[in-house]
Amino acid sequence: MKLKLLSLLAATALLLSACEKDFSEENGDLPISNNGSGSGGSGGGTGGSGSIAGCKDCIYVPRCDGSVYKYIDTTAGSVTQRNYTLQFVKDTTIDSQVYQKFLGEGGNTPTYYNCTSGVSTSIIYNGASQGGTVLPYVKLTLLKANEPVGATWTSNFTDPTSGLVIINTFNIVAKDITRTVNGVNYNNVIHLHMVQSAVVPGLGNQILTQNDYYIAKGIGNIESISFESFGGTQILHSILVSAVIP
C-alpha cells in the first residue's frame, strides 16, 4: 500500500528536517553527559514564543542554532548513522504565530518550528515523503509537554497523491521516567505514542503504523521505534548517540 511510505513522516518531523553534515569528536561533536541532562534545558516549562533567543525555553524540544545530533537508525536490518545540525535562518510569522525557520535536509527544504506554552508545532512546505511524494503543506502538533499522562490529540494532513486524510493520533503514555539509550541514563523523559492511520473510502480508518518516541528534557528525541501495523514488523529503531546544544 503506497500510503505506508508516508508513515515515517511524523518521526522525521519530531526531529525536524535538518541539513545533514559529517561531524567528529575532534570537531566538537562530543557525547552528552551520562546523567542525561545534556547542555540545555535550563528554561521554564511554559515554552517560548518562537524566537531563536529563547531556543531553550521549550525545555523538551530545544531548537538552537548550531545544535548537533548524531543518531543510529536501524531499518529492515540496515544500520546507518545520521548526523545533522540545526541551521537557523530567521523568524517568520505563519497563522499569526512566530516560527523559527531552519534549513532542511541538503539545505533545500525549510522547516518551521514554534513552541508556545509547551506545545511544539512543525510546518514543512514542499517536503518529500518517504515515497518521494511532494507534500505542499504539512503542519503537525508534535508534543504538548505540559499536558498530563493520558492526554491525547490528533494532527492530520492530506496525502496529495491519493487525496486521503492521514491522521496522526498522539498519546502521552508516561512522564518524568528514566530511559536508558545507548548506555546513557536519561531522566525527565516523556514517552509519547503515535498511531498513524488513513481514512480509506469503503474501509474507514486504517492504521498504518504504531510509533513510540522518548523525549528527554533539555535534549529532545532520544529514541524512536516504529512498527508497521499490517504485520507488526519493526520498520525503524532510532537511538541518539550524542548531542551538542549550544
Q: Would you list the domain boundaries of the chain?
A: 2-244
- CA-nearest of 99, 111, 83 to 16 is 111
Q: Mean pLDDT in each 10-residue stretch from start to end of the chain (246 residues)?
A: 42 37 35 38 36 78 88 86 85 88 68 90 69 66 95 88 86 98 96 92 89 93 87 86 90
Write the class of the CATH domain 2-244. Answer: mainly beta
Residue 70, SS3? strand
Instruction: Count the neighbouring beta carbons within 10 Å of the beta carbon of residue 232.
Output: 8
Contact partners, residue 184, CB within 8 Å, separation at least 6:
31, 32, 34, 36
pLDDT at 177: 98
pLDDT at 106: 55
Report the predicted TM-score, pTM, of the whole model to 2 decimal places. 0.79
